[in-house]
Structure formats: C-alpha cells, structure tokens
A and B are shown apart, each in its own frame.
Chain A
Amino acid sequence: MSSMLSAGAHNESNVEVHKYYGGTVIGAAFLALLFQAFLHKYGRWAELIDLPLLVTIYFGVSKRNPVSGMFLGALIGILQDALGHDGPIGMYGIAKTIIGYMASSVGAKIDTEHPASRFGLVFILFHLHQAILAVTERALLNRPARFFTPRLLLDSVITAAAGVLLFSLLDRLRRQS
C-alpha cells in the first residue's frame, strides 16, 4: 500500500496538474448542486444524472490532490445531504469524500484526458459511490438498499456519457499555463 502510494507520489510529479481560475471549483460545485436541485422540479429524468458526483470526480481527477479532492467531495456531499429532506446529513458526504479521494488518487496515476478512460472512470466510481451509499444505509440506518439493479446500470451509463460531455466543457475552464 505504501509502495503504491509512493509510486503514486512519484507519478504525481510527472503528471500535469491543471489549475483553474479562482472560484471555478466552488462555482462549478455550487452550480452542480443548484442544477441537481433545480432540475428535479421538472421531472424524474433529472435523477438519472448525478451532477455533483461528476463535478467531484472531475476536479478530483484534475487537481490530482487526494486531500483537496476529499474535502471537495465532503463539501459537495454534505451540501447535497443538506438540500435533501428525508436523509440524515453525512450519507452523500461520506460517499463523495471517498469518491473525491479515489478520483484524485486515480487521476495521479492514469491518463484521464481520453473520453473512453473518462467514461470508464465515471462508470466505475458511480457504482462505487452507490455501493458506499448502500452500505452506509444498511449498516447505519438499517434501511434496505440494493447494491445493483438494472436501473442503476442504466443510470451509470447515462451519467458516464454525461460525464464525458461535462468534462469536455469543464476543460475549457482550465487556466492556461
């Protein structure tokens, strides 16, 4: 584990770390939460895409810093919990904290610029996110939660496809070095 991390740290120095204009990350996270809450008013189709998750993954991968990715995930998750009405605060917080950390860690090791790798990364992290949510619900809240359903598969594909498009848009917000 330690060798992996050290290897990762070694690789971090060889991978380009993207920088953004001030307020871009917070603004994008805020807009993602806003759209997620806002679009729910106009139909259930908005539930198919988890925009806060996509933003967490993108900036985690781009920053390539597990600590900042983790805190960004924690912030987005806790706000997402807070904007809900029926769940305790911390469910999405824990899940997105872990996802932000993992996305940053993975982004430091593999190429995440190619659309296919982005699609695969989002697809996997989406299911991991859902798995953490399900475990937390079962273990802490004693709620029945399904780990995998056909609907979840559809959601993951749609979210991954949307992630590819969203990431290309967010790439435009990068500060030119």
Chain B
Amino acid sequence: MVGIFSRHRSLALLASVVLAQLLLLAFQIKRDHDIRLIRYWAVGIMSPVERGGTWGFSSIRGIWTGYIDLHNARKENQQLRAELGELQLRNRELESQANEAQRLSAMLSFHEAHPEAPILAAQVIGASADSTSHTLFINRGTRDHIHNNMAVVTPDGVVGKIVEAFPSTSQVLLINDRESGVGALFAASRTHGVVKGSGDPDPRLDYIVNDEKVKPGDVLLTSGDDRIFPKGLLIGTVVDSKPALPFQLIHVQPAARLDRLEDVLVLLSQQEFEPKKAGEASFPLIPDAPPEPTASATDPSAATAAAAGAKPVSAPAAANANATNTTGTAGTTAAAPPASSTKPNDSAAKPHAAAPVQNSPVAAKPAAAARQ
C-alpha cells in the first residue's frame, strides 16, 4: 500500500486534496455554507487591493473623462459661440424688421388719420456726397407724380422738400440745409418766423424779435406761408434762445430724426391737415393746437390781414408769399426774407393725383413685416 502510494504520490495527493475539498463541501452543505473564516480571509486580502484598484481606475477614468469633457466643452463652446453669433445676427435682423414694421405702421396710421391728404410713401435710397449739404435721395420721381417743392415729412415731423425730381428718384433738401427755409409759427403764441438751416445738424428759427418770450421746449409748426408745407405740421422744438441783433438766436431740435431717415412721406398737395379733436386718435405730426389768435401783438400785418378777413400772415410770412412769385433767390433784407430759398412750384398749390395707397409701401410693407 505504501509502495503504491509512493509510486503514485502525485495522484494520491490529488485524490487527497480533492477529497478534502469534497469533505469541506459536504460540511458546508450540512452547515448551510457556514465557512465564514475562509471568506473573511479572502475578502480581507482582496478588498484593499480592489479598493485601491477601484480608486486608481476611477482616477484614471476621471482624468480621461475630464480630458474628454474638456475637449467636448471646448468644441461645444465653439458651437455655442457660432450659434450665439447666428442668433445675434438673426436678432438684429428681426429688430430691424420690427423697427421697419413700426415705422411703416406709423406711416399707415398717419395716412389713415389724414385720408384727405394725398400722400406717397418713399424710401430713402441715398444721401448727398457733399458733407456741407443736407440732402438725400428717395426712390420716387416724376413717374410717381412727384414734382419740385413738394413737402417731405415723416410721422414725426417735417423733413424737407423736393428740390429735384428725376424720373424714378428725387432729391430732398432737408430743413437743416443752409439753403432751406420753412415758414414756421409757435404753437402757443402763434408768432411767425422762418426755420432755416445753418449747416449744423440743428436748424435755427429766425426773424423772432428780442421782445418775444421764447423758452426751450416751445413747439414749432409749419405756418403754410411758404406754399410748400401745409399749415400745422410739426417742425420741432426750441432747444435754446439767446438775444442777438437784429433777431433772437434760436436753435431748434427737428422733430423728425433727420440723420436716421429710412422711409418718408411725400405730400402731393399742400392741402391743410385737419386738426384732430380731443378724444380722436391724435398724431404727432399735428399736435393739438390752441385756438389761433385773430391778431398777434408782435405781428401787426397779421392783425391787418385778419381785419381784412384774410388769413393771418406774419411779416416774414408775407415776405415768403412774395418770394413765391420771384425767382426764388434769397431775400436781401432781414425784414423780408424768403421762407424757402428755392423756387416754389406752382403745382404745389394744387392737389396732385395721389398714387394709390395700395400700391405704396406704406400699405404693403406692414403686411409683409407681419408675415415675417
């Protein structure tokens, strides 16, 4: 027996080891797996290493995922920046369209508020290349029944007048140009004067005697004496006034934003606008005017005219009226200056056939903007 065992020692050992494990299994089955000590040792040996491995693996994975995340974050950042740029561009486009829609809506409101006035909407397509002159070009011309000396306005106020009408475009002389002159009157006192360009961005009100009380914020309207602008249109407000010789030096802030014009309205006739009554939809172009005095203390000629049953006309306005029948050159005396230095158009006094509003951008563009 011993000899067999020694000859087959390895096999005997194998049988012994397997048998021992079988007994261990049987013991566990009987005791319901109650071999905690071996498990305790095995887990005690392995768990620290496993914990370390897990920590190392997690660290490596954290570094890797951090790098990947950083890389992705950079990529995502670039994408978001590009997206932000596109959205900002889109936002600006929408803002521009909203502003345009607002402008056109204001123009439409203006036309609806004054259906009696033939109006043609136009777009500003260019400006003068000469920095000393304040003119601009609009996309309407003689084909659209536009002629010289037609008034150009916006819903905010007076812009200027047509000085050259071409077949498809027209040149507009702004009220702050040196060559420009607009018959004006104070909305409150009804004192007449002439708003003239001075070469500066803001025009001046001339021919107001030093005795006249003028304060900043006084509203100026067109007087209608120049036979170009209908009476009652808003020109602007007084910025400041200084006594000077022979007349006060009064700076005027134009109501229309002359440096940011995009759409304008051309008045095809000099027909006066009907002032709105209280409670009706008012429009800034024609503020509520106080009752016109029958005579002005500073305007004796007007008093004379009123007494004669004629329309009250101030001294400079009377001179303007005279100037309309001349060649249009500037007056040589301070007492009788022309309100408009260019030759007035006779046709400005008679109403033109208005272009259909449906064909004008005033009616078409708000709908287009609303669709967008």
Contact = CB atoms under 8 A, between A and B. Distances in A.
A67 B11 CA distance: 8
A2 B29 CA distance: 36
B38 A89 contact: yes
Interface string A44-72: 00000000000000000000001100110
Given A38-B50, A97-B14, A98-B14, A90 B25 contact: yes
A152 interface: no
B53 A94 contact: no
28 contacts: A34-B46, A34-B49, A38-B50, A38-B53, A38-B54, A66-B14, A67-B10, A67-B13, A70-B10, A70-B13, A70-B14, A70-B17, A71-B17, A74-B17, A78-B21, A82-B38, A88-B28, A88-B35, A89-B35, A90-B21, A90-B28, A93-B21, A94-B21, A94-B22, A97-B18, A97-B21, A140-B25, A141-B29
Contacts of A67: 9-10, 13
Interface string B30-57: 0001010011011100100110011001
A33 interface: yes
Interface string A75-104: 000110011000011110110011001000
> Chain B interface mostly helix, strand, loop or mixed?
helix
B10 A97 contact: no
A140 B21 contact: no
B46 A37 contact: yes
Contact of B38 (A30, A34, A78): A78
Contacts of B17: 70-71, 74, 97
Chain B interface size, under 10 / 10 to 19 / 20 to 34 / 35 or more: 20 to 34
Interface residues of A, number: 29
Nearest to B53: A38
Contacts of A66: 10, 14
Contacts of B8: 2, 5
Contacts of B11: 5
Contacts of B33: 88
Interface in B164-219: none
B46 A83 contact: yes
A89 B21 CA distance: 8
A168 B33 CA distance: 39
A112 interface: no
Contacts of A88: 24-25, 28-29, 33, 35
B29 A140 contact: yes
Given A79-B42, A140-B25, A98 B50 contact: no
Given A82-B39, A82-B43, A140 B26 contact: yes
Contacts of B26: 140
A83 B53 CA distance: 16
Nearest to A31: B49
B7 interface: yes
Nearest to A105: B10
Nearest to B32: A88
A34 B14 contact: no
A83 B35 contact: no
A82 B42 contact: yes
A90 B22 contact: yes
The 3 A-B pairs of least Cβ separation, nearest first, read A82-B42, A88-B28, A90-B25
A131 to B, nearest CB: 14
Contacts of A93: 21, 24
A74 B53 contact: no
Interface string B289-330: 000000000000000000000000000000000000000000
B222 to A, nearest CB: 86
Nearest to B24: A90
